[in-house]
Amino acid sequence: MKSLAELEAIRDKARENLSARASGGRKIVVGMATCGIAAGARPVMNALVEELRVRGIHDVHVTMTGCIGVCRLEPIIEVIEENGDKVTYVKMDPLKAKRVVAEHIVNGRICSDLTIGAAEPRVKA
Amino acid sequence: MRELAEHLMDLVQNARRARARHIEMSITALPESDQLILKVQDDGSGIRPDLLAKVTDPYATSRTTRPVGLGLPLLKEQCEQTGGHMKIRSLAQMGTTVEAVLGLRHIDRLPLGDIGGTMVLLVMDDPDQEYRLVLKSPRGCLDLATADLRRQLQEVPLHDMAVLDWLAAYVKEQQETIFGGVLDEIIS
């Protein structure tokens, strides 16, 4: 059984790493309004966090936002580089989310088949 | 929506948008009266009386991206589909309480889903927000407040990865203990 008492050990261990935590520049933003949630944004975001954790990536910040405005393409995530460049991925699921971490975040190759441009060439992101 | 945990996330997002300082979520199973009650209470800005009267109309919303809001209408539909109902109380500057009563054993009731995963994302997205999560059934009760976790963790932030892992596992275990055998989808 997990218990609140375990938090003490976690705290002591986390203290040692506090200074080591990098404050990085890259961000992944997940649309978490009703449209995104209903389309499955919650498991997508959990998958992103899990994949980053498994790979030991600490300098990518995962956050939520409201409705991005193209509800029919939800779940939508945006990868925002340090220089502000943004790639919008649409119709995500947990497996695609893990692929984006592996290919885009780790290897720097945009998954062009998952982008909004691939889904709807005429829609400007 | 595929899980009640997703409706919960949606309600909490409303509360956050209302700039609530404290957000309380509770899920109560009452097998004797065949009810499952999902409640979210916040101390945010409240809903204007004119909007409150028609808040379950999909074309009434305070969002500005477009004049349609489906969160509360979808939850109301889920309640009524399972023989329950939804109640909303709100006072300007005092906050809002949404109470969704669902038929516990009704075939159309959505499964509870991943409450731990929902909590982790909420805490991660804003580690300074105060949350309280209460899970209750005849089999037991969980009362978890972020304020208590913060006291225990001292200067270690709530969104430390090890803490979030613990939180997900803790809530999952509690959810299984409390609702196992009480909700059909969770085996005891």
Instruction: State pLDDT tens for residues A49-86.
Output: 999 999 999 889 999 999 888 999 999 999 999 999 99
Q: Does A46 touch chain B (CB under 8 A)?
A: yes
pTM: 0.91
Predicted pLDDT at A86:
96
Kindly state the average pLDDT of the residues A95-112: 97
Contacts of A69 in chain B (CB under 8 A): 65-66
Q: Which of B96, B76, B74 is nearest to B15 (CA)?
A: B96
Tens-place pLDDT, residues A3-62: 888 999 999 988 887 655 556 689 999 999 999 999 999 999 999 999 999 999 988 999
Name the 3-class secondary structure at A30. strand
The continuous run of DSSP H or E covering B96 comes out as strand B95-103
Q: Which of A93, A112, A114 is nearest to A48 (CA)?
A: A93
Give the separation between CA B45 and CA B94, rounded to whole angstroms.
Answer: 6
Report whether B86 contacts B95 (CB < 8 A). no
CATH topology of domain A25-119: Glutaredoxin (3.40.30)
**Closest partner CB to B152 (pick from A8, A18, A63):** A8
**Mutant choice from A4, A28, A34, A65 vs B, greatest count of B C-beta within 10 A:** A34
Contacts of B167 in chain A (CB under 8 A): none
CA-based nearest residue in chain B for residue A28 = B125
The tokens for B131 are 């949350």
CA dihedral A48, A54, A59, A61 (to 10 degrees): 20
Kindly state the average pLDDT of the residues B177-184: 95
CA-based nearest residue in chain A for residue B5 = A42
Domain definitions of chain A by residue range: 25-119
Report whether A61 contacts A110 (CB < 8 A). no
**Phi/psi of residue B31, nearest 5 degrees:** -60, -30
